[in-house]
Structures are given as structure tokens and as C-alpha cells.
Amino acid sequence: MCVFSTENVGILNLQKGVEFSKMVITLIISAFFLFFIALNSERDQNLKLPHSKLFGALTYPIYLTHAHFGYMFISRFRNNENKAMIYALTISIVS
């Protein structure tokens, strides 16, 4: 069975307690596939972004640090009553 199948939406609904839309999941997965197909086109393979490797190397450690502190904050303070507020607060703190 494919991991990215919309048949798994029911499992996600039961595990997470959130109603997932098959249409939204299908659109997101399709957008990713179209993005990767576009990246493999001849036109986009010749795309040059000056200094992109340098900027990626400089920002990746910052991303890792923010992600780590964000996960720690969420796991420490989130519960079912305040999870929306904690997610919003975490995003605002680590941004």
C-alpha cells in the first residue's frame, strides 16, 4: 500500500483526532510531484542562483536550532486545551 494514498486519511483522522480532507491532501501531494517534475526539466536544471550554497550552509544550523527549541517548547507546554495557542506562540517565538 502506498504511504501517500488518500486511503490513509481515515487512519490519520483516528490517530490525530483531526479531520483531514482527502482533497487537500491530494492537492498538496500533487503540488509536490509537479514541483519536482519542474525541477527536473531542462530549463530549471540550468537555473543559477548565485551564493545559494553559502546562504543554505549559513542558515541550516539556525533552522536546526529553531526546530529543536520549538519542539521542546511544544512538548513541554502543549495539551489538548491550549494546543492552538501554543503552536501560534511557538511559531511567533522561533520566527
68 and 94 co-located in one domain:
yes
pTM of the model: 0.46
pLDDT tens digits for 45-71? 777 889 988 999 999 998 898 889 889
Angstrom distance (rounded) from CA 59 to CA 63:
6
Please give the residue range of the domain that contains residue 38.
1-47
37 and 52 co-located in one domain:
no
Q: Is the pLDDT of residue 31 over 90?
A: yes
Q: Please, what is the average pLDDT of the chain?
A: 82
What's the grid cell of residue 4?
501517500
19 and 61 co-located in one domain:
no
58, 34 Cβ separation under 8 angstroms: no
DSSP class of residue 79? -
40 and 23 co-located in one domain:
yes
Angstrom distance (rounded) from CA 88 to CA 84:
6
